[in-house]
């Protein structure tokens, strides 16, 4: 009898554990879209919904790259404090079970590469920005009353590199960009060429930077070269402050390249949603 009871009890516990394991965690105040680019690439769009009354000017919108990895932390930080809830957080991810889809992000966030260095495939940065500009942003504007003067982009590593590239090539797409440990070294510092072109256009009066800002956040334990390159970029961009561009450079103590995205969500959201800019 005792043996039968123990067997039944074990079976019940196993059944309960299996049921618990099968139930996915759902984040409150979120929704998810499945979208495709013009070329048929699939994206998983995770939205942290705004809470409270709609501002008269519309909701500020923050676009977050590598959403599979970083959306939960940013969503939790946004909901934890009332002053941060009145914004839309749009995280761009992939239909993948891994936090970082290295193959997809390597293509979406990089410039074209020579054939002998094109593994995994690279060169999709402009196609990815086209998807954001022509497909994702219009859908966000259809679903929410958006403040078109408060669009921000946050990216880490390759995502930070893409953020800097976006400022240089499409400065009107986002008003505020936060580049976290950007890979400025990639492809022999390929961003130097678009930076020079951006500077020439700005000096010629062809770019309006009145409302633009770029903040570079580095981890203390990023490589010395990465920190030096990022600091040098920010110093060069200071020369464009007379045209309205605001730039900042911050080193997070005690963090490394992998940990920094989880250290900064509250600070980033507080500054992007508020009136101050780092």
Q: What top-level class would CATH report for the domain 27-273?
A: alpha beta
Separation CA 15–CA 116 (nearest Å): 52
Q: How confident is the prediction along the chain (278 residues), in pLDDT tens digits per residue?
A: 556 545 555 555 555 555 556 778 889 999 999 999 999 999 999 999 999 999 999 999 999 999 999 999 999 999 998 889 999 999 999 999 999 999 999 999 999 999 888 889 999 999 999 999 999 999 999 999 999 999 999 999 999 999 999 999 999 999 999 999 999 999 999 999 999 999 999 999 999 999 999 999 999 999 999 999 999 999 999 999 999 999 999 999 999 999 999 999 999 998 898 654 44
For residue 240, the 8-state DSSP code is G
* Count helices and strands in the chain by DSSP H and E runs: 11, 8
Predicted TM-score (pTM) of the model is: 0.91
pLDDT confidence of residue 55 = 92
Q: Extract the tokens encoding 127.
A: 């196609």
Contact 248, 278 (CB under 8 A): yes
pLDDT confidence of residue 23 = 78
Q: Extract the tokens encoding 245.
A: 């561009």
Q: Where are the domains of the chain?
A: 27-273
Contact 244, 207 (CB under 8 A): no
pLDDT confidence of residue 170 = 98
Beta strand 88-93 pairing with 42-48: antiparallel
C-alpha distances out from residue 38 to 35, 129, 131, Å: 10, 12, 7
SS3 content of the chain, % helix, strand, coil (to 5): 45, 20, 35
Exposure b/e, 5-35, CB count within 10 A at least 16 = b: eeeeeeeeeeeeeeeeeeeeeeeeebeeeee
C-alpha distances out from residue 104 to 24, 33, 60, 91, 124, Å: 24, 18, 28, 15, 9
């Amino acid at each position: 009898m005792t043996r039968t009871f123990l067997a039944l009890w074990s079976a019940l516990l196993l059944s309960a554990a299996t049921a618990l394991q099968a139930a996915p965690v759902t984040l409150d105040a979120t929704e998810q879209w499945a979208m495709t680019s013009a070329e048929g690439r699939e994206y998983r769009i995770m939205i942290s919904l705004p809470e409270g009354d709609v501002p008269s000017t519309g909701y500020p919108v923050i676009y977050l790259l590598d959403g599979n990895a970083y959306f939960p932390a940013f969503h939790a930080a946004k909901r934890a404090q009332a002053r941060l809830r009145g914004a839309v957080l749009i995280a761009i991810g992939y239909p993948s079970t891994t936090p970082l889809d290295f193959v997809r992000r390597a293509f979406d966030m990089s410039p074209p590469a020579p054939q002998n260095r094109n593994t995994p495939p690279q060169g999709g940065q402009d196609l990815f920005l086209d998807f954001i500009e022509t497909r994702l942003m219009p859908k966000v504007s259809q679903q929410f009353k958006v403040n078109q003067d408060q669009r921000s982009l946050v990216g880490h590593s390759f995502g930070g590199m893409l953020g800097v590239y976006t400022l240089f090539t499409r400065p009107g797409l986002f008003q505020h960009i936060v580049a976290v440990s950007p890979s400025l070294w990639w492809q022999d510092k390929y961003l130097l060429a678009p930076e020079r072109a951006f500077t020439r256009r700005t000096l010629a009066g062809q770019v309006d930077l009145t409302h633009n800002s770029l903040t570079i956040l580095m981890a203390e334990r990023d490589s010395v070269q990465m920190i030096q390159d990022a600091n040098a970029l920010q110093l060069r961009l200071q020369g464009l402050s007379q045209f309205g561009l605001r730039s900042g450079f911050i080193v997070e103590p005690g963090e490394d390249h992998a940990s920094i995205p989880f250290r900064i969500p509250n600070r980033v959201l507080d500054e992007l949603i508020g009136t101050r800019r780092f």
